[in-house]
Structure 1
Amino acid sequence: MNCLATLPLLLLLSLFTSSSAANFEVHNNCPYTVWAAATPVGGGQRLDQGQSWNINVPPGTAMARIWGRTNCNFDGSGRGSCQTGDCGGVLQCTGWGKPPNTLAEFALNQFNNLDFFDISNIDGFNIPISFAPTSPGADKCHSISCTADIIGQCPAALKVPGGCNNPCTTFGGQQYCCTNGPCGPTDYSRFFKGLCPDAYSYPQDDATSTFTCPGGSTDYRVVFCP
């Protein structure tokens, strides 16, 4: 498993605590169709502008993510492809998407019965996104977003059709992928962090990028193009 397919260390080391399912409302506010994806719960759903998709996520779900796919074409059997975020050529995702894709990541009812959540640009950026807790736990949590014009300002070396790629996928190596021990920020990660300070910019960017809510009492809303 490479650095792009990992969640923050706190999420990976967290402990299960039972509680009730959380509702995730995924809403498309973009002026174009987004094919939403969610794993390990949800699969996939076409969302035209203004449409929403509700997913009930069981307690204890970890290493989970929601993302949007763009410029997709699927046949009647749900097979096809997407320009960004493609998950093996199927509408109903069971694995993770191909970079670049902006991620909303979470793990529910973990250490101290907390939900851990974040937005990540570790896999690059394709769609502006917000990730917000909703009632009844919202007053104890922090809403986060990444809405800057990352595609328009993307460094030339990272530009790809439909998005801004990440340096690990583009260049490889420990400096960018952080697969063999500690690593630090780079000029490319600083580019992402400067535009979206709430979001992960490289795999060990935990201190300023992981947020928590009370587990078992919080639902969430993920919005594309908030």
Structure 2
Amino acid sequence: IYNACQFPVWPAWIPNAGVAQIAPGGAKLQPYESIHLLAPWGWSGRFWGRTDCSSSIAAINSCNTANNHTMNTMIDCETGDRNGELGCSSPGLPPATLVEFTPLRDPHALLDHYDVSLVDGYNLPVRVIPSSSSCKSAGCSASAADLLARCPPELAIRRSGGDAGVIACKSPCLAFKEDRYCCTGEYGSARKCRPSPYSRCFKRSCPDAYSYAFDSLDSGFACPSGAEYTIVFCPRSYGHGSSEGSRSW
């Protein structure tokens, strides 16, 4: 996971049901800093980035040992936060750009399916870059400033306090809670739930990402299992900054 943004990002990740967590479940990355994670064969789960976080040390019940009272790093983030912990097992609150990995079996091989999703809204441009040149990248290439500037005003979440800048963009489903945007109720099929002006706006910003629940199948990608992947926040700056260090788990 590489932070090519010019500001810190707090990546987090959780496994799907029945899949083991990759410790520690979250980290802080300074600009141009990276971490390396080793996922077991067939791992599935999601990643996202949290922004504008402040941290403190507090005595809490640890996520992984619910009955143990322990000291832990608490964070309070403007976007992508939920339980206030640096690494835990709860998904972040939307809107946040999601990276999703799921193993797939075809008749001949085990594949990794991966995608970047704006279905619940977004907060950062993210790109998934496979190590194999035969596999395609997924996600966004816009800068963070450009991506947030394209958010329709009625979907925009603005920074608390004096600075009214846009920090995240809600999905129309999250903003309006209507079946036609959420692809639920009578709109719960690909035939009935069609792209909206909002999802088209998302798609123009991130052509290689899912913009709504029934977006085209070519918004997701597959690569033979065993490949390595780089998840890049603010990919437009990827390769233009000097590396500030790396950690591994």
Range of TM-score over shorter length: 0.7 to 0.9
Query: Using the alignment, how far apart are the partners of 1:200 and 1:82 within structure 2?
Result: 25
Query: Using the alignment, how far apart are the partners of 1:110 and 1:54 within structure 2?
Result: 26
2:234 matches 1:225? yes
| Contact 2:150–2:205 under 8 Å retained in 1 | no
How many percent identity over aligned positions? 42
2:106 matches 1:124? no
Deviations 1:90-143 (A, max 9, x none): 111312111121111111354441110001111211111110111xxx132101
Please report the TM-score for the alignment, with normalisation by the length of structure 2.
Answer: 0.75
2:150 matches 1:153? yes
Q: Which residue matches 1:176?
A: 181
Q: Which residue matches 2:202?
A: 192
Query: CA shift at 1:80, angstroms?
Result: 3.0
Query: CA shift at 1:145, angstroms?
Result: 3.0
Query: CA shift at 1:208, angstroms?
Result: 2.3
| Contact 2:172–2:181 under 8 Å retained in 1 | yes
Query: CA shift at 1:167, angstroms?
Result: 0.9
Query: CA shift at 1:204, angstroms?
Result: 1.2
| Contact 1:36–1:44 under 8 Å retained in 2 | yes
Larger radius of gyration: 2
Deviations 1:15-66 (A, max 9, x none): xxxxxxxxxxx0111110100111123410000011111111122223x111
Query: Quick one: which amino acid aligns to residue 170 of structure 1?
Result: A
Gaps in structure 1 of 5+ consecutive residues = 1-25
Query: Using the alignment, how far apart are the partners of 2:86 and 2:232 within structure 1?
Result: 19
Q: Which residue matches 1:72?
A: 53
Query: Quick one: which amino acid aligns to residue 47 of structure 2?
Result: I
Greater alpha carbon shift after TM alignment, 139-148 vs 90-99: 139-148
Query: CA shift at 1:89, angstroms?
Result: 1.6
Please report the TM-score for the alignment, with normalisation by the length of structure 1.
Answer: 0.82
Instruction: Give the 3-state SS of the residue equivalent to 1:175 in structure 2.
Output: helix
CA RMSD of aligned residues (A): 1.5
| Contact 2:138–2:220 under 8 Å retained in 1 | no
Query: Using the alignment, how far apart are the partners of 2:126 and 2:179 within structure 1?
Result: 28
Query: Quick one: which amino acid aligns to residue 105 of structure 1?
Result: E
Deviations 1:120-172 (A, max 9, x none): 111211111110111xxx13210123132221121011010211111111111
Q: Which residue matches 2:11?
A: 36
